Chains A and B, each alone.
Chain A
Amino acid sequence: MTMIAPDPVAPDPKVDRALTRRRWLGRLRGGSTGRPVWRQPIAVVALTILGGWLLVAILAPLVAPYDPLAQSADTYAAPSAAHWFGTDSLGRDIFSRVVYGARLSIPLALAIVSLALLVGGLLGLVAGYLGRLADEALMRLTDLVFAFPQIILAMAVTAAFGPNTRNAVLALVIVSWPVYARVIRSAVLSMRGDDYLNAARLLGVGPVRALRRDVLPNSIGPAIVLATLELGNAVLLLAALSFLGLGPRPPAAEWGSMVALGSQDLSMWWVSVFPGLAILTVVMAFNVLGDALRDRLDPRYAKGR
């Protein structure tokens, strides 16, 4: 008698896609009930502000009337037609510096959050999917980081590595990845044993492919919401570090260090108020946007539905 080896079943892409339910994307578009995120007035305002800041950052050389580093004899000039936001102790134009500050703060915040999402996301996936020892070890590591107040740990790391932009970003990634690891891990845990995953496995889908095609798309939603919220936090933490002299080196036009410079002499209010307002608007916009996304994606926060 001849043994007939069963044919290896090649995963059928159509089946694979059908089994995968990108639940979060559907909700983002409004699902079957509410309005999509981009129809909520408050979110539109936030998006507009952020879009405006992005434009300002990209077009900084066109928007800024002066070189942000150019010093002049016109020190501590109050806001006027020549200097919309006034000048600082070295006669630098604060409007130009705030504009160029967007080129630092926003890309750096994006870098911090994407790196943290990448590192935290990968570790969370691994922890959730593998379980057992890997899970235990990684979660205790996140506990370790959570045990410190974020800013204190970030300060310690930057101070130890030496204060500059790269180390400030690294420090902030180190303090912020665990949140994403936790979120992704819990999402992965919640879908372990789901039918479509079992189906995929029965069809011979390997773990890497399953993680990439099925698990990741379904768990990334909450992490994206969190990342949006965290963008504001990253802008703020970065500003806090440079306020303390641990961020980008002077004379870089960084909002936090500009606030610090102004805080030395409170009677010249414009030196710190304008960069402070820049921080405020960006942080608020990211938070409002993140909130709107979460209201949409997380049923626990859904209002009146």
Chain B
Amino acid sequence: MSVSPRRLRTGALALATLAVISTTACTAGGSGGNANSGEAKTLTVNTSFVLKTLDPGRVYEATGLTAVHALYDTLLTFEGSDVGKPVPALAESYDASPDAKTFTFKLRSGVTFADGSPLTADDVVFSLNRLKNIKGSPAVTVSELSVSKTDDSTVVVTSATPNPNVPVVLAMPSTGVLNAEVARDNGAKDGADAAQGDTAQQYLDTNSIGSGPYVLKSYEPESQVVLEANPNYWGDKPQFERVVLRNMDVQTQKLTMQRAETAEISLDISGKLLDGLPESLQTSGVQDTVYFLFLNADPAVSAVTANPKFNQALRAAIDYQGIAALYGEGAAPGAGLVAPAFPGTLPASEASTRDVAKAKALLAEAGLTDPTVKFNYPAITYKGVDLGTVATKVQGDAAEAGITLELNPQPLTTFLDEMRSGKSPLGFTPQSLNYPVADSLINNMAPGQATALRSGWTVERADPAIVAAGEKVTETLDLAARATAMQEWQRLMNQSSPYIVLASNSSTVVATADLTGADYSAAGWQVDVAAVGLR
């Protein structure tokens, strides 16, 4: 026999013991802490890396966005946690035409790149054209835009369709301005065929050629990214000489923050994980993620979920308050599809409420006795919350109303495949916006749109009032009126759409007490490291 029983036994015991002590053993772990030694001031940012590139034209992942925002300036930007109104950055002012198609940006004078060369309108035009034409993941935000310059300090951006949110798009890190000359020397292209011809990514992953407050010192996508203050920065110099982004799993981040004393930030401790952190730490979060159920409206996929009465009954069966409690601090019961962080969200007072008696009555009315539905969800932990726990809670709530949900946890890719194929009778997913404008929800989730069709929600199966309300949002050009129209659309969506919004929760920046400006931003870059200072 090749496997000795004694060895088997020892292994088995060790594992069993491990299962028991793992909960306590971890508190003894932790890493080396902060490397601050007085002179060169270093800010340490711990995050579980989602990092593929630091090329502004291609960056799409959270960690990359944090770094790129510090390396490259954009025409406009957002300050602190506010994503409602873009503020000047490279552009000192801008004008929008009344039809929301033409936007004229006046560039700030005296801005130089980190290498000392001046930043001109040509660099802006090159960078935006490159972003659009290399067709990387972020290009979708600018696909309808075209850019030209009228003189060395004026850039005109035009949109093919009326789009009052162009200024917001131009605050995104992917629209960061590169030094066009250096970029071209290293393989960057901005022409219509740039998708094939551009070879600058490798260079841009390890070198920064922007005008931002920091320059790239080192890039190790598995372990750390180091930024150093830009000596030629045109604006107020950041307080920290160095910023180190460290790759760290979330449990270790929590242990590290429990011992951290100075100049340390963690980006992934959210939800229930915030429980038990020392009082001395500061947190900043904005509710920017919504979690919703989607019911298939196609009777061929599920006669049960396609039944409008069942849809109503399930809405009434869910304990929204209880679900929000599962998400921990900084969560709220579901109101509408637009998360509270963004313009057009529904007020918290309109959060959905539970009514089990109503749910039962609706089921009886529809003649549904013990309806049973397969309930798909990705078996992942998202922003500190295990989606399986939430799904189990939904199952328990539904059971009280007489609805049987068969939990079907799936690996993420399987879940996504089944969702895309339109075969999921009932599913559960989180949703975050790629940039802080809720319009994309209409483009995706209104009846007949791409995401809606995955739930079998065609225009024919939808309430005509919802279709009209969606069109109203797109037609409204004034931003305040648009937000109001968005709210109206969500109220109608809450009555009969395939989407049941369960809750919203926040991403959170956890920082040591000695820091200022460690504000979470829903604009994509999570925290503006250049704005972080010492008290």
Contacts and interface: CB of A to CB of B under 8 A. Distances in A.
A114 interface: no
A283 B13 contact: yes
A136 interface: no
Given A269-B24, A290-B9, 14 more contacts: A71-B393, A75-B326, A90-B392, A146-B2, A163-B409, A226-B5, A236-B15, A243-B19, A261-B389, A263-B23, A264-B272, A266-B27, A280-B19, A280-B20
Chain A interface size band reads 35 or more
Given A250-B392, A283-B13, A89 B326 contact: yes
B8 A233 contact: yes
B1 interface: yes
Contacts of B24: 266, 269
Contacts of B411: 159
Nearest to A185: B1
B430 interface: no
A33 interface: no
Interface stretch (A12-20, A52-60, A198-206, A270-278): A270-278
- State the majority secondary structure of interface residues on B: helix
B8 A245 contact: no
Nearest to B388: A250
Nearest to B392: A251
Interface string B1-13: 1110100110011
Given A245-B388, A261-B386, A284-B13, A186 B20 contact: no
A250 B391 contact: yes
A259 interface: yes
A179 B7 CA distance: 13
A185 to B, nearest CB: 9
A186 B13 contact: no
A262 B389 contact: no
Contact of B1 (A186, A230, A239): A186
A279 B27 contact: no
B1 A183 contact: yes
A262 to B, nearest CB: 7
A197 interface: no
A69 to B, nearest CB: 7
22 contacts: A71-B397, A73-B322, A89-B272, A90-B396, A226-B5, A229-B5, A232-B9, A245-B379, A250-B409, A261-B389, A262-B23, A265-B273, A269-B23, A269-B24, A272-B22, A273-B23, A276-B16, A276-B20, A276-B21, A284-B13, A290-B5, A290-B9
A287 B12 contact: yes
Contact of B19 (A232, A249, A279): A279
Given A262-B23, A287-B9, A179 B392 contact: no
A280 B17 contact: yes
A80 interface: no
Contacts of A277: 20
Interface string A277-299: 10110011001001100100000
A245 B381 CA distance: 12
A182 interface: yes
Interface in B367-409: 379, 381, 386, 388-389, 391-393, 395-397, 406-409
Interface residues of B, number: 43
Contacts of B407: 249-251
B318 to A, nearest CB: 13
Given A250-B391, A251-B407, A267-B275, A69 B23 contact: no
Interface in A133-189: 146, 159, 163, 179, 182-183, 186
Contacts of A179: 1, 3
A272 B3 CA distance: 31
A225 B6 CA distance: 12
Nearest to B2: A146
A77 interface: no
Given A75-B325, A250-B391, A265 B272 contact: yes
A80 to B, nearest CB: 19
Given A245-B388, A250-B392, A265-B275, A279 B2 contact: no
Contacts of B22: 259, 263, 272, 276
A265 B381 CA distance: 12
A43 to B, nearest CB: 14
Interface string B147-173: 000000000000000000000000000
A127 interface: no
A265 B328 CA distance: 12
Given A229-B8, A267-B275, A276 B19 contact: yes
A241 interface: no
A124 to B, nearest CB: 11
A89 B1 contact: no
B386 A264 contact: yes
A251 B16 CA distance: 22
A164 to B, nearest CB: 9
Given A146-B2, A265-B273, A267-B276, A90 B393 contact: yes
A238 interface: no
Interface in B1-51: 1-3, 5, 8-9, 12-13, 15-17, 19-24, 26-27
A272 B23 contact: yes
A89 B393 CA distance: 9
A167 B136 CA distance: 41
B13 A264 contact: no
Query: Top 4 nearest A-B pairs by Cβ distance?
Result: A276-B20, A71-B396, A267-B276, A283-B16
B251 interface: yes
